[in-house]
Structure 1
């Protein structure tokens, strides 16, 4: 960064580590007609083409601002000047927001201060770096040091200006059951903007943006950013007339505003900026390691996650005590570690149209309650989990009759139903306490050690009936309320595994990862679609944070039939579980599942704590291939998925880098031995077996040197 004219904080470089910097890339400034110049004696210095660290409006920079503040008479002019900086040890601890955790790894934070003398507003820009990580954690705080209340109408977490040099952008889009679809495109002049106004990060446009040029999975420079936040957000990319690129990420400026009273400070969510010169796999590794070290709850960072069986696709709402006892018996026999009772266990919940909010156990389905089932599971050596959707409420429930004011809705219009349900007003402290008490009571009374937290609709009526704050603050206040709830629960019960779910990946984001160490990334368990979903999500999320289940065929979402081996391999590439009827199996089917579970348990440490790489992309062709290897490069597992059988493909070829090129590797179960360099550069030829949706698994072990 550079200070220009003792006023402007200017961006100069973000990339590979430099031994020194003496402004070698600083461009020559020239006068431009029509460009505003604050100092008439220096017309060449114009905000129109300066690369800012914090751009703001009405100063001659006509590109998208990162901060906008409304003062009296709706005036949005501000003039911030550089005031100074300090460097402090460690990473900042945010009170109300998820954030990068301090660990034993050395970290330092640069804080740059800007000030508007007339408005009496101070801005602090935070840049945290970690000794062993290639990421920068960036955020902004705004303090009202004046006597008048102001309105913050835009507050982004990171804004970066760089030169356009033929880069392409990478983002993701999706929908329910088709999350994290790759979107890579050329950059055009003007503004490209995505985000969410749904009250959640959403599967439509998750918070992620990458810039690259001539990069692929294995090589090339990638600059990527994401947001530690779970609500309304935006990601923008602007190419101006001078071939300057502006990258931005933060709160959604169309749905966010905040009243800032005298003496108050407003903190933005943190953005995570990752640089890699090792392609998109390198970028993924950077995110994976950083989130594992500095985001996932320490209690679950290195802890083995249980192999579970979930009741949902076996029973849907038709659960009962006898059936769950049978499920426990079968799970124990086959080698599962946890049984999860999904939706349908409470208050005559027989469809999606009833009962949310009335969390009393259904006495007809479970006449003895839930605790005896938990105890029965413990006797069988199993954990027990239960499903909740705590943020929602169904019409015609006791809860809504007792507390109609707890519903999220406006004063003028009837609230819109989504999935036959309404949303609780999480800005209300009474609602927050109700949810904390409800789940705490269930955890303690039932004795469960796993909670699946679901959220099955987005927000259409973002208003509180309490009326004690401006309506434009609602979306952010909802998230702060949610974070308060889940922080209280996960802090009180660190031994309980909380799994994030929102109809699958509807709220799959880094903010939720701070509290919930894993996410059910999609309701779609299809053996074809899951290849794209898991590959896309792996650009950000470590394998330990993604959950996948083996389900029955024909698949309940697509009606597609995929062989068991392929479905098992896909689930084995995540936190693995099952979601099918395991009670009514023949002996051959039982043995197949039993062997799968034994194999997965033996490989679990490698999959969960090793390193993951994408070798072949399902977005680019008929093949998908993944590599798991330990950090010492002594063990490796390669999965190669070939979807459509083509008669002209006599064999398949997959190159396997990321091993020790000087080492020799044996394919386990054979006498085949190859060097790491041969596997990386020549590749491994595989038999192309007939039939669609096939998978081949190659297990490699490094041979000891003679």
Structure 2
């Protein structure tokens, strides 16, 4: 078994390396941990890129004998505040009732087999692949504070996992005022920065910008990762989808976060990611420890698509719930678009009948099923079936669905509470709010205080009882507002600790439920993709990507999300036209191609279909059952970007099958053809088009491309399926 981590005692270097990536650090002057390299695998390292430093005016010099070694420009692995490095720090810790900030020096290291287990946070999972973890200890001898820097590398992945823990070994309380999970220093060489912005119904919008002097920073202070700026940042130089170096950072966390890049006076770059320093501090009593979320450092020399495939493999192999990694997801019909809040027993029975006839595998009863829920302003927390809508409860419906060969799923919004409910009357202290001010409503609801163990127990017990009593196979877990008034009425800690404590509480709740019911499909949702991040992917194998189901807008949303998330982790539904969000009418074939590129479901009403419509859906579901395994067994390639043209195309590749979806959103009379090159195929293999029976060589599809005819009309799609026949003879 090849060693993944090595310490060179003579040169004082740590090297993490596998066939996909190398990461190198150096101990300088016996106490500073310096970053030297992160990128393409190296056979050996002899400091060829180490700069020749010289004394600089206005630069602090901790050692007068070596004025060229100044914190002002050294590329630190863990930069500390107030120590002469005036760039953004990773750690800022202040002993309470003391005027001195803490100061750390290298103390020791350990190399351990396996990954790091974080009991209270989502984290990279152990797998069959060999892994090793380097733990580097920095120590403050005065304040008696220990920093442990964790670096985990897997034999099968280009992603390196980093985090930091703080332990107070002194005799007084300290305050963590800033603690990021990863910091990388590298020279500026005209790279570009890639991030995403978004909003409700328009998530994962691609941004690519030049890097100017100063600091560029994104993140969330909303109490959730949010659609505005998901935790992702990438650095690239002349990279395309398939060529060039891309270094990307993400975070296994779902709360307030920040990601930044700083270009300093010496044209050095500092990339950082971690907890949002504007909304976080933490008091640490003597003997206590604090663990940061894990950061993901992802390098690829094969462009953005290669970087995405690294993320896709890592999330699948080392993050997703093991039960669902390779498992086919059920084809479902959701009640929401058909009925809204006006659901009832008769309507759902009709839906079950129609779903069974068409070939669905699951019926999901969305919002509106519980006591008094006739609009979005009421009833959250009173999780009992509405007696007027369901006089016999939900159990007979679940039984009826099973008799029809269908599984049954249910919608919840467990973290919320509505005013004027039985729950708020019984437990007014469960509301997230300040003691001094009235709580602020969002979407007509309040947040429950998940720092309160009693609230955690209520959610666990409520969902457990519902799953057990009904025999549910699916839970759609929604969250439809962000935090205001982040305070607890019953728990006593600083307000700046609240949001992270909330997430420790919510992670505990979700961990308990998903561990207890591993075979139940828990789907993450926050008005769509409002809380889609690697932290949630640890518990939820799939996420409802967006409330916007429009067949045009969805192309950008799905294309953008694929930079980080494999298609198997997102869900897309076929909805009615004109689309409820945009009023746009996109053909059925285009809407089905988009949904089939994710975990497929339906929203459109199916009770009053014509014979032709029924036949079309039956055929589509039949094909989807045959092809859905591609989501969990294929490599995904982006081929044409909807952010830069009227076309959008992507491809799924397995050892035997190639499936291409090519969307043309605007017809141009002067266009002759749409030529798409197909990387990722085997050059020496032959491929046959399953429709035309035409045979092509892999090398020509890679280099010459596949010419697609131009179809009249807007929002069209072409689906091409190729089968690999054999290797070409010499």
Alignment TM-score > 0.5, same fold: yes
State the 1:466 CA deviation: 1.4
Greater CA deviation, 643-652 or 188-197?
643-652
State the 1:704 CA deviation: 2.7
Question: 2:67 and 2:440 mapped to 1: Cα distance?
Answer: 55
**Which residue does 1:552 correspond to in 2?**
576
**Which residue does 2:418 correspond to in 1?**
394
Map 1:413-452 to 2 at 5 A: 413-452=437-476
State the 1:603 CA deviation: 0.6
Question: 1:145 and 1:29 mapped to 2: Cα distance?
Answer: 36
Of the three residues 683, 688, 709, the one matched with 1:687 is 709
1:580 and 2:601 matched: no
- When residues 529 and 442 of structure 1 are mapped into structure 2, their CA distance, relative to the original with a 3 A threshold, is same
Map 1:668-687 to 2 at 5 A: 668-687=690-709
**Which residue does 1:289 correspond to in 2?**
313
- Per the normalisation by structure 1, the TM-score is 0.99
Of the three residues 671, 675, 692, the one matched with 1:653 is 675
Question: 2:99 and 2:135 mapped to 1: Cα distance?
Answer: 28
Q: Deviations over 1:351-392 (max 9, x none)?
A: 000000001110110111111111111111110000000000
Q: Give the conservation status (yes or no) of the 8 Å contact 2:96–2:175.
A: no
- When residues 385 and 673 of structure 1 are mapped into structure 2, their CA distance, relative to the original with a 3 A threshold, is same
Map 1:69-218 to 2 at 5 A: 69-73=93-97, 75=99, 77-218=101-242
Q: Give the conservation status (yes or no) of the 8 Å contact 1:575–1:608.
A: no
Provide the secondary structure at the position in 2 that maps to 1:489. Answer: helix
- Per the normalisation by structure 2, the TM-score is 0.96
Q: Give the conservation status (yes or no) of the 8 Å contact 1:57–1:76.
A: no
1:260 and 2:291 matched: no
Question: 2:669 and 2:696 mapped to 1: Cα distance?
Answer: 28
1:336 and 2:360 matched: yes
State the 1:417 CA deviation: 0.5
Of the three residues 317, 334, 339, the one matched with 2:341 is 317
Question: 2:491 and 2:575 mapped to 1: Cα distance?
Answer: 46
Q: Give the conservation status (yes or no) of the 8 Å contact 1:194–1:234.
A: yes
Structure 1 segments of 4+ aligned residues over 2 angstroms from their partners: 72-76
Q: Deviations over 1:216-257 (max 9, x none)?
A: 111110000100000000001000000110000000000011
1:513 and 2:498 matched: no
Provide the secondary structure at the position in 2 that maps to 1:13. Answer: strand
Of the three residues 660, 663, 667, the one matched with 1:641 is 663
Of the three residues 555, 577, 596, the one matched with 1:531 is 555
Q: Give the conservation status (yes or no) of the 8 Å contact 1:181–1:533.
A: yes
Question: 1:65 and 1:543 mapped to 2: Cα distance?
Answer: 36
1:274 and 2:298 matched: yes
Provide the secondary structure at the position in 2 that maps to 1:532. Answer: helix
State the 1:548 CA deviation: 0.3
State the 1:72 CA deviation: 3.0
Of the three residues 19, 28, 34, the one matched with 2:52 is 28
Q: Give the conservation status (yes or no) of the 8 Å contact 2:664–2:714.
A: yes
State the 1:467 CA deviation: 4.2
Provide the secondary structure at the position in 2 that maps to 1:620. Answer: coil
**Which residue does 1:54 correspond to in 2?**
78
Greater CA deviation, 431-440 or 677-686?
677-686
Of the three residues 563, 566, 573, the one matched with 1:542 is 566
Question: 2:491 and 2:130 mapped to 1: Cα distance?
Answer: 45
State the 1:687 CA deviation: 1.2
Question: 2:617 and 2:280 mapped to 1: Cα distance?
Answer: 49
**Which residue does 2:16 correspond to in 1?**
none
Q: Give the conservation status (yes or no) of the 8 Å contact 2:369–2:389.
A: yes
- When residues 117 and 369 of structure 1 are mapped into structure 2, their CA distance, relative to the original with a 3 A threshold, is same
Q: Which runs of 5+ in 1 are unaligned?
A: none
Q: How many residues align?
A: 704
Q: Which runs of 5+ in 2 are unaligned?
A: 1-24
Of the three residues 220, 243, 247, the one matched with 1:219 is 243
State the 1:413 CA deviation: 1.1
State the 1:607 CA deviation: 2.7
Question: 2:377 and 2:661 mapped to 1: Cα distance?
Answer: 41
Map 1:585-664 to 2 at 5 A: 585-630=609-654, 632=655, 634-664=656-686
Question: 2:568 and 2:82 mapped to 1: Cα distance?
Answer: 46
Q: Give the conservation status (yes or no) of the 8 Å contact 1:325–1:373.
A: yes
**Which residue does 2:17 correspond to in 1?**
none
Q: Give the conservation status (yes or no) of the 8 Å contact 1:544–1:609.
A: no
Q: Deviations over 1:78-99 (max 9, x none)?
A: 2100001010000010010000
State the 1:151 CA deviation: 0.5
State the 1:627 CA deviation: 0.4
Question: 1:76 and 1:694 mapped to 2: Cα distance?
Answer: 65
Question: 1:621 and 1:577 mapped to 2: Cα distance?
Answer: 28
Provide the secondary structure at the position in 2 that maps to 1:235. Answer: strand
